[in-house]
Amino acid sequence: MATKTARSSSGTRAPARRKQAAEAPREERRAGTRPIWTGNLRLALVSVPVNLYPATRTGAQISFHQVHEPSGKRIRYEKVVPGIGPVDTDEIVKGFEVEKGNYVLIDPEEIDAIKLESKKTLDLVQFVKQGEIDPIWFDRPYYVVADGDLAEEAYNVMRDALRASGKIGLGQFVMRNREYIAALKPCGHGLLLETLRFSDEVRSAAPFFAGIDQTKPERELLDLARELIERKTAPFDPRQFKDKYSDALRALIDAKIKHRKPVIIDEDTGSGGKVIDLVEALKRSVGNSGKPAASASRGKKAN
């Protein structure tokens, strides 16, 4: 027996209308945000068209222009050569300083000749356990979104497979003429890509920590410190942490715009005194920390 598609009183197919309603909020959320990269995620023979969107906003930071106060005009900078003055852009080449005052000159054409070809493909060539990569290697996060309805099935399979395996996918890709290492992992209903630093971009910690005394602290100090940590343990909520400097700057700017005196915000910076008795300081901290957080769980005492 043939099945009939349900129609609304206006004659529109109900499934299509529900699909449009579900897609509308998604498009509205991405409205005004252009993808920073468009290409394909590839795992063996499976290729998924995707778009990358920055997960962070640089516009959230306040920036200023320099202004010449007497005239009210912006300060401009010119490219000048001492003893010659302003020069044309086409007369400028790049120089790498080999030693003080000694440069190797490189023409723009020579740089263009070695630019990496953008293949628009991110091949996942390795997988590691989540938590295996130290946070110091992570650089910038990007949201990975399926590019079109036809890509969603393969996209969902890749997301759910990563989540079920507890793994992160690794690969390399080219974005804006630069090569990046990418770490791909599930994020809510979607995928998150984080670029990683290359091995020569991270300093070894050993020289910085070499002079630290390796003697184990006293048991009483450890127990008090653990107690204080447990009492202050709670789920992470980024809204609890405020950028007070940026908030003060915005208040100052708003006050200037409204031609009123800005409100001065006092901040309790606490005591800067030297701690003489560490045990007493920890005991006071534990006593003043309030009740343990509801989500905190008591850990076993260290051996």
Query: In this prediction, what percent of the chain has a pLDDT beyond 70?
Result: 77
Give buried/exposed letters for 115-151 (b at 16+ CB in 10 A, else e).
eeeeeeebbbeebeeeeeeeeebeeeebbbbbbeeeb
- 122 and 268 co-located in one domain: no
Quote the number of domains for the chain: 2
Residue with the bigger pLDDT between 104 and 16: it is: 104
| pLDDT(276) > 60 | no
Q: What is the DSSP letter of 129?
A: E
**Mutual angle of helices 278-288 and 219-231, in 10-degree steps:** 20
Please list the alpha-helical segments (H only) found in 258-293. 278-288
pLDDT value, residue 290: 61
pLDDT, average across residues 65-86:
87
CATH number of the domain bearing residue 155: 2.40.290.10
Percentage of the residues of the chain whose pLDDT score is greater than 90: 46
In a domain, 302, yes or no: no
In this structure, the answer to whether residues 47 and 139 fall within a common structural domain is yes
The answer to whether position 178 is within a domain reads: yes
- Shortest CA distance to 54 belongs to which of 181, 140, 139, 117? 140
Confidence of residue 23 (pLDDT cuts 50, 70, 90): low
**What is the domain extent for residue 159?**
33-57+116-201
Q: H or E element: which one contains 20?
A: helix 14-30
Statement to judge: residues 249 and 185 lie in one domain: no
Same domain for 260 and 157: no
Rg, the chain, Cα only: 28
Would you state the pLDDT for residue 245? 84
Q: Which pLDDT does position 261 carry in this prediction?
A: 56
Q: Are residues 43 and 138 in the same domain?
A: yes
Note whether 236 and 179 are same-domain residues: no
Mean pLDDT to the nearest integer, 6-33:
49
User: Per the domain annotation, does 262 fall within a domain?
Assistant: yes
In a domain, 77, yes or no: no
Q: Distance between terminal CA atoms of the chain?
A: 72
229 with 173, same domain: the answer is no
